[in-house]
Each structure stands twice: as structure tokens, then as C-alpha cells.
Chain A
Amino acid sequence: MTIFSDIGRYLLMIKGMFARPENGKMYWKELIHQCTEIGFGSLGIVAIISVFIGAVSTIQTAYQLVSPLIPPSTIAQIVRDTVVLEFAPTLVCIVLAGVAGSRIASELGNMRVSEQIDALEIMGIKTKTYLVLPKVIAALIMIPLLVVIAMALGIWGGRLAGVASGIIDGYTYDRGLKEFFDPYTIKFALTKSYVFAFIISSVPAFYGYFVKGGALEIGRASTKAVVVSCILILLFDYILSALLLPT
């Protein structure tokens, strides 16, 4: 059963990440580098997606709420909650699995295939610690930040679209945002984004680190890394919602 041996090797890789760095300064430099790559490298696409998601949410919510009995400020509430609870963390992380995940898998895959990982091992460097751990930590720092930015931009995008199409005026939208606001939704979304960040960094790292073969296999590994990461994100989205959301 390859799936069980894969899970075993994945867990061993995670365990192998935690070792004493040979030189703290070099590891710190690598961490900063990864934070830049993951954070700024994905900021543009995250911003675009969030604004449009918010905009579409407003228009579709308005379309579905046709009753005159429902006050228009309800639209803002619904947009706020869907963006915060689901769109910002889950959709953004699915996109990040594609953007950052495939980059991690192909970077490590290339290093494996061209023997750069072997070269580091020969120098006496613990490659799981030096190559994988900074990526995982960088993801845990940057991805929740990106998710918070996505929340703000999504809600702002919803306001833009609402005002532009005359569905709701800015004042009513802002008032709606403050109605029935439960800070727990933010906490829940952040919990999800930490779990997703771990998936997006460690799963592609696993597929990249253990690539065998050549350029073709690097491509396959990064595709597989993205697919598996997306499935795991959706699975954990379900599990965490079932466990943590009071119904």
C-alpha cells in the first residue's frame, strides 16, 4: 500500500525537520527569504481574488434576498460572514496551494534531481531542517496574514460592488457590517488558515523532497502536490467546521 508508506515517510520528514540548526544566522536568512517568497509572491493574486469574491458575494446575496421584509443591511452581514468564514480562508488557501505549493514542490524537486540536496547532505547540513522547516514556518507566519488581508479586501470589494450597482448604499453596508458580529468567526477562520498553511507548505515539500527521476517527474510531483493539498484543505475545512462551529 503506497498510501501508508507515503504517510509514514511524510511523518518521518516532519519529525526530521526538528533538529538543531548548524548556523542560526543562515537559517534566519533562509526564513526571511521564504517569508518574502510566500508572502509577497502571492499578495497580488490574493488581492485580486478577494476583491472579486466580495463583489460577487454582494451581488448574489442581493439576488437571492428579494423579500421587502428583509432589511438591506442584512446583505452586508451575509457578505461579511461568508467572506470571513469560508471565502477568505478556504478559497485563498486553495489558490495558494496552486501558487506557493507548486513553487515549493518544484524548487525542492529540482534540488533533488540535480543532486543539490545530496551536495548539502555531504557538506553536513541537515537538509530537512534547512530546506523544509523555513518553508513551513514562513507559511505559518505569512498565510494567516494573507487571509486577514483577504478578509478586509473581500469585504471592501463587496461594498464597492454594492454601491456601484446601486444594491446598497455605503452607509447601510457599513452599518450592516457591525450588526450581529461574532468575533469567534475570525478566530475560527484563523485556526483554519494555520491548518491550511501547514498543509500548503509541508505536503508540497514532501512531494518535492522525495522526487525520483528527472524534469518530467518534477512536473508530476508538483501537480500531485497541488491536487493532494487541495483535497486535504477541503477535507480539513469540513472536519474543522464540524468540530468547531456551534450549530
Chain B
Amino acid sequence: MIEVKNIQKSFDGKIIIQDVSAVMKAGQCNLIIGASGSGKTVLMKCMVGLFDPDHGSILYGGHDFTAMEGRDKTEIRKEIGMLFQGSALFDSQNVEQNIMFPLSMFTDWTYKKKLDRVNEVLNRVNLPDVNRKFPAELSGGMKKRVALAQAIVLNPKYLFATNPIQGSILKPPSSSTNSSKRSRSNIISLL
């Protein structure tokens, strides 16, 4: 469960989000909807700790994430997968290396086991046979799918996605494609 309590964030004195509170329960999919520039991404970046809120707190499973330091914060982050607006893939690495990176960093699996997992998540996002391609050789929508595959490769407990419907990688709940059934679509998914 994630609890957002009275979050405020401003940049250079200009308040972007003010007094936002929400509770997101496990097994649910939560959408943040708003006009462009209204602060959806800023709120999400506060939730994952990329921005420090001016005040307010974020709780993961009852633990105050905003007050955490170093190691505890890292532990929570290992349970978070995030899909960025611009995909944020490493351009010097191909698709396979990109997705394998979190596995190499945080597991001691054999290469074979890692490769199997990479292919498994690539299948889940409907992108077989792109292992050797570099991000620059993919379309915007394909990049987002690869980024989604990377975000879920470690089986995160929490999945955040910015503008997931753009590039149509995650369909709104009404439609039922393979990927949306599996990852329960949309913005913040507590898997």
C-alpha cells in the first residue's frame, strides 16, 4: 500500500502541486489524470523519491519513505519499477543488454537464466526478436515497450508509468490486450 499525505512541491517558489493526498491499495491500478503541465509527473517523481517534496510524506507499506536514508531507501527502490515518459533506455546498449542490466546488477543468476528472463519479459510486451537492436533503431512505441520490459524484469511490487497510453503500450482497462491483462495497465500498478 502506498499512502500519499499532504504533499506539496514547488520549483523556485512556484507551487506545482499542493496538499495532495491519496491511498493506493495493493492489487489495484491507480490513475492520475490531469491536463498537461498540471503536475502529474512531478507528483509521481515525488512518490519515487526523485524529487524531495517541500512537505508532506509518502508511506510504503506504512514506512515513511520521505524520511528514509541510504540503505532503507534503496531497499524500497528495488521494489519499484518505473516507466519514464522518454523511455530512458541506455543508448549505448542493445535491447537485451538494457533489460538484462537490472538482473546483472541485483542477482547472481547465470547468463542463461538471465537471458531466459529477458526473453520472457520481451514476450510479455509483445516484442520478440528485437534483442540485438539498439534503442535508436526502435520506434517510440517499441522503446516504451522495451522500457516496460526493463521496469518489470525484477518483478517489482510497485509499477509507475508516466503517460503509458501514449505510444499505446498499456491499453486502458476496457481493452484487453495481452500486456494490459498481465500488468493491469496504467499509471500506478501495485502488483
Interface positions of A (Cβ within 8 A of B):
22-23, 25-26, 110-111, 114-116, 118-119, 121-126
Contacts and interface: CB of A to CB of B under 8 A. Distances in A.
Nearest to A29: B104
Contacts of B67: none
Chain A at the B interface: SS class: helix
Interface of B: 45, 48-50, 74-75, 77-78, 80-82, 84-86, 88-91, 102, 104-106, 154
A26 B104 contact: yes
A122 B79 CA distance: 9
B73 to A, nearest CB: 8
B89 to A, nearest CB: 7
Nearest to B150: A119
Nearest to A33: B92
A122 B82 contact: yes
Which are the 8 A-B pairs with shortest beta-carbon distances?
A124-B77, A115-B88, A119-B88, A124-B74, A124-B78, A115-B84, A122-B82, A23-B105
Contacts of A122: 48, 50, 77, 80-82
A126 B71 CA distance: 10
A37 to B, nearest CB: 10
B87 to A, nearest CB: 8
Contacts of A22: 105-106
20 contacts: A23-B104, A23-B105, A23-B106, A26-B104, A26-B105, A114-B88, A115-B88, A116-B88, A116-B91, A118-B84, A119-B82, A119-B88, A121-B77, A122-B80, A123-B77, A123-B102, A123-B105, A123-B106, A123-B154, A125-B105
Contacts of A23: 104-106
Contacts of B106: 22-23, 123-124
Nearest to A23: B105
Contacts of B154: 123
Contacts of A123: 77-78, 102, 105-106, 154
B72 to A, nearest CB: 11
Contacts of B74: 124, 126
Nearest to A125: B105
